[in-house]
Amino acid sequence: MRDESAFMVLQFRHMKRRPNPRLDDVARAAGVSLATASRALSAPQLVHAETRARVLSAAERLSYVPHGAARALATQRSRTVGAVFPPVDNPIFASATHALAQELAAAGFTLLLASHDYDPDAELAAARALIERGVDGMVLVGTDHAPALYRLLEQAGLPFELTWSLDPGGFRHCVGLSHRLASAHVTQHLVELGHREFAVIAGVVRYNDRARERLAGVRETLAARGLALPAERVVEAPFSVADGRAALGRLLARAPGFTALVCGNDPLAIGAVLEAQARSIAVPQALSIAGFDDVELAAQISPGLTTVHVPSADIGRLAGRRLLARLEGKRVRRSEEVPAPLVLRGTTGPAPRGA
């Protein structure tokens, strides 16, 4: 029972707003018990239609807002899902975040979002914060995570989905693609165009299985054909168009003579295209360039960027859908692969004859 006198004192002393109405107040206003009011709102079928109407109108009149923490404490579920993403300002993660949030909202769930800068410790800390907040499930990106994070999730019994990548062990829930395979397809395509001299601008591979696998895909494919990929022909660069430009500059200074350039992501590739054009290197006549991700701009620059289409919004949506299904006790297949087709546009072409 609330202490009305304390409430009055507050009124007089600080002119404080009256506290938000509780279910208790709604019940009283509707002339029913607390229990009935609760049922009327969260299990309407259990209550007489007329009573229910009285409760609902009372709630409306008082502009009652349920208290999530109290509900969470009583039910032991928060209707909340956590996601910890590397820089959310990477456009591909941004669209996944949006899709995930929408998918969750449609089911009455809310997204708790944390981000970090490709730092496993920061990721662990962020995840811990989300778990304390009582998220019912979690979405992570890729498979490179601190062992302590996996332990934490498993000990807490929290369902989680890995995204973008497929779990190599195959026993964790994930929705993504084989970056190695897709990258191999790109490389293969260039080999078939007659290219023999390759260079690579890889994303930063540390703590990033996607970047690592993409690079491995190039390496494997070239090795299988007996083609060399000397160390000077491989540079790592962070994620931006400017980095792509600079990286191409470094490659050209260090080990010119390549006719095909495979990039770890689209911004890097677009940067490389811009830099090549600025140096009057004809793309694709003198240099073929391929990217990865298929961001919007890839189709808009000219020539259009050959790349791998990664359905990032779908990944976010699917991760949400799968998590929601699991929370309802449904079973989903452990590993879900999304299609990641090679998209051929204008930046790749036959190797120049003289090469």
Residue ranges with strand state E in 118-218? 137-141, 160-165, 174-177, 198-202
Rounded CA-CA distance 352/355 in Å is 6
Q: Does 326 bind a second copy (CB under 8 A)?
A: no
Q: Does 253 bind DNA (CB under 7 A)?
A: no
CA 253 to chain centre: 36
Q: Does 297 bind a second copy (CB under 8 A)?
A: yes
Q: Does 32 bind DNA (CB under 7 A)?
A: yes
Choosing among a second copy, DNA, none, which partner's interface includes residue 133 (Cβ < 5 to 8 Å by kind)? a second copy
Nearer to DNA, 43 or 253 (CB): 43
Q: Does 134 bind a second copy (CB under 8 A)?
A: yes
Q: Does 115 bind a second copy (CB under 8 A)?
A: yes
Q: Does 23 bind DNA (CB under 7 A)?
A: yes
Rounded CA-CA distance 289/258 in Å is 11
Choosing among DNA, a second copy, none, which partner's interface includes residue 354 (Cβ < 5 to 8 Å by kind)? none
Rounded CA-CA distance 153/132 in Å is 12
Choosing among DNA, a second copy, none, which partner's interface includes residue 281 (Cβ < 5 to 8 Å by kind)? none
Q: Does 102 bind a second copy (CB under 8 A)?
A: yes
Rounded CA-CA distance 312/92 in Å is 6
Rounded CA-CA distance 297/343 in Å is 13
Rounded CA-CA distance 189/184 in Å is 8
Nearer to a second copy, 223 or 278 (CB): 278
CB 212 within 8 A of CB 305: no
CB of 196 to a second copy, least distance (A): 30
Task: List the one residue from 28, 66, 102, 240 that touches DNA (CB under 7 A).
Answer: 66
Nearer to DNA, 10 or 41 (CB): 41
CA 163 to chain centre: 7
Q: Does 278 bind DNA (CB under 7 A)?
A: no
All residues at 6 or more sequence positions from 299 whose CB lies less than 8 Å from its CB, including other chains: 305, 345
Nearest of 245, 238, 165, 241 to residue 206 by alpha carbon: 238
User: Residue 203 carries which DSSP code?
Assistant: P
Choosing among a second copy, DNA, none, which partner's interface includes residue 38 (Cβ < 5 to 8 Å by kind)? DNA
All residues at 6 or more sequence positions from 35 whose CB lies less than 8 Å from its CB, including other chains: none
Q: Does 8 bind a second copy (CB under 8 A)?
A: no
Task: List the one residue from 8, 9, 53, 282 that touches a second copy (CB under 8 A).
Answer: 9
**Could you list the residues that contact DNA (CB under 7 A)?**
2-3, 19-20, 22-24, 32-36, 38-39, 41-43, 46-48, 50-52, 64, 66-67, 70-71, 73-76
